[in-house]
Chain A
Amino acid sequence: MTDDKRTHIGKRVALELKDGDYVNLGIGLPTEAANHIPEGRKVVFQSENGIMGVGPAPAEGQEDKDMINAGGGYITAVPGASFFDSATSFAIIRGKHIDVTVLGSLQVDQKGNLANWMIPGKLIPGMGGAMDLVTGAKKVIVAMEHCDKHGNPKILKECTLPLTAPHCVNLIITEMAVIEVTPQGLLLKEITEGYTLQEVLTATEAELIVPDKLK
């Protein structure tokens, strides 16, 4: 993915994070959002290995071997941070205390089903905390490229890969569009400047509900 796309998605995700939110960002693209929180807005980041209040990466040479995030990267703690064991961490997650989780995905479908943890026949790294996160977070945002690296749509009528959880996604943010999962189906909320409606429709296998203002 180009830096432009990554930055665009990160900035757009950051707009969804409200003052006072407790947020868990998945590994990879979702972490980009932490770099774009508007000045003065307080968002508290959890990492599921056992910290609330994740700060920026430490300066080179300042790494602490006992301070990592769930992706294994070195982190710092902000003032007011807390450490806790893994059962407490997942009580926070599963118990609906996290306001927003942002995850990457392989596929999302028009019922809000999410498939992001395994491709049968290929290496299966494991679901880690993803199934608990999408089951327990109050809001689930998928942040991903609109199509896969071969140009195939990832937003489908129905997921074909094994699910991470059914009916769990609330919002999809890609470099092309912002799409909300509603009881009626997928509602196209925004088209990124530089893309046309037709381009978004072509890149999306699922049916999109297009409001008049975007036509």
Chain B
Amino acid sequence: MFQLISAEEAAAMIKPHSRIALGGFLAVGTPETILDAIVEAGIDNLHIIAITSDYIGKGIGKLVDAHLVKSVQVSHMGTNKNIQDQVNSGEIQSELIPQGTLMERVRAFGAGLGGVLTPTGLGTIVAEGKQIIMVDGMDYLLEPAIPSDFALIRAHKADKAGNLIYRKTARNGNPIMAMAGRITIAEVDEILEDEYIDPETVITPGIFVNYIVLSKEGKK
């Protein structure tokens, strides 16, 4: 069962060189309160797994601005000049991964799989150095699971069982990242006190959630 902690306590758990699976897409559905606490604590040499690189001053951009990021696995970084500059200067090592492949590699780790087979990237530089496996006459790339120490995600509401629901397109990669952290910390707008989320509508079952932080942006 989850424990309710402060953003500062969440940040204190994360050590330099941690691998972090970060929810969100272009800074929608990013756990901004936890990210602020990591910046405040100055935890550095982080490896970040995320779909996009958000913007300067928002989402992963906060960590990049504070020079806390050592390496990234992302599908896109066209919206954040600071990360581009740090990649170009060699401060940040980057692996660009097709978005669908990234999600499945993260999901694979959370689901106890060693990797996935995908046709995406065949015949391109993405396939360089990777094993090609034929199934039923079709070629696929073997893409290994991506492990992470922590998943930092953003949800809308939690109940006392740790079940989560999201809001609109702020769901994005969050439910996948939630499965993939050895420790998953969810930042939420609200924890329901007097009711549980209808089991039919739960998106992330509480078993995936170890800690919950109340968002500064959420309902008081």
**A-to-B contact residues, CB < 8 Å:** 47-51, 64-70, 72, 75, 77, 83-87, 89-90, 93-94, 123-132, 135-136, 162-167
19 additional A-B residue pairs with CB within 8 Å, beyond A125-B77, A128-B76: A48-B99, A49-B25, A50-B25, A64-B168, A66-B29, A66-B169, A68-B28, A84-B171, A85-B172, A85-B175, A87-B107, A87-B175, A87-B176, A123-B88, A126-B76, A128-B78, A165-B120, A166-B123, A166-B124
CB pair A126–B74 under 8 Å, yes or no, is: yes
Contact A125 B78 (CB under 8 A): yes
CB distance from B163 to the nearest CB of A (A): 15
Q: Are B96 and A86 in contact (CB under 8 A)?
A: no
B 81-111 to A, binary, CB cutoff 8 A, 1 in contact else 0: 0001000100000001011110110010000
Tell me the nearest residue of chain B to A27, going by C-beta: B78
Expressed in whole angstroms, the Cα–Cα distance for A130 and B78 within the complex equals: 14
CB-CB under 8 A from B118, the residues of chain A are 94
CB neighbours of A89 from chain B (8 A): 100
Q: Does B207 lie at the interface of the complex (its beta carbon under 8 Å from any beta carbon of A)? A: no
B170 within 8 Å of A by Cβ?
yes
Measured in the bound complex, the distance between the Cα atoms of B123 and A65 in whole Å is: 38
Contact A49 to B169, CB < 8 A, known contacts A124-B96, A125-B77:
yes
Contact B170 A135, beta carbon cutoff 8 Å: no
Cβ-based interface call for B173 (8 A): yes
Residues of A within 8 A of B76 (CB): 125-128
Against A, the Cβ 8 Å flags (1 = close, 0 = not) of B111-134 are: 000000011111111100000000
Known: A72-B79, A125-B77. A86 touches B51 (CB 8 A): yes
Q: Which residue of B lies closest to A168 (CB)?
A: B123
Within 8 A of A (CB), among B38-78: 51-52, 74-78
Of B78, B79, B124, most buried by chain A (CB within 10 Å of CB) is B124
Indicate if the CB atoms of A128 and B171 lie closer than 8 Å.
no
Q: Which 7 A-B pairs have CB atoms at the shortest separation, nearest pair first?
A: A125-B78, A90-B100, A132-B100, A126-B76, A166-B123, A66-B170, A131-B98
A126–B121 Cα distance when bound, in Å, is: 13
Q: A127, B98: Cβ atoms under 8 Å?
A: yes
B186-208 vs A: 1/0 string, CB under 8 Å?
00000000000000000100000
Question: Size of chain B's interface in residues, with CB distance under 8 A?
Answer: 43
In the complex, A163→B123 CA distance in Å? 8
- Give the docked Cα–Cα distance between A209 and B52 (Å): 41
Q: Are B100 and A85 in contact (CB under 8 A)?
A: no
Is B148 interfacial (CB-CB < 8 Å)?
no
Cβ contact within 8 Å between B125 and A162: yes
Whether B174 is near chain A, meaning CB under 8 Å from some CB there, is yes
A-B contact pairs, 8 of them (CB 8 A): A51-B168, A70-B25, A72-B79, A85-B171, A85-B173, A85-B176, A86-B99, A127-B96
Question: How many whole Å from B136's CB to the nearest CB in chain A?
Answer: 15
Which A residue sits closest to B99, measured CB to CB? Answer: A129
Are B171 and A131 neighbours in the complex by a CB distance under 8 Å?
A: no
Q: What is the distance, in angstroms, from A116's C-beta to the closest C-beta of chain B?
A: 11
Nearest-neighbour CB distance to chain A for B55, whole angstroms, equals 8
A66 touching B167 in the complex, CB below 8 Å, given contacts A86-B25, A90-B104, A128-B99: yes
User: A167 contacts which chain B residues (CB < 8 A)?
Assistant: 123
Bound CA–CA A120/B203 (angstroms): 41
B183 within 8 A of partner (CB): no
Residues of A within 8 A of B98 (CB): 127-132
Give the docked Cα–Cα distance between A65 and B101 (Å).
27
Choose among B77, B125, B172 the residue that contacts A86 (Cβ–Cβ < 8 A).
B172
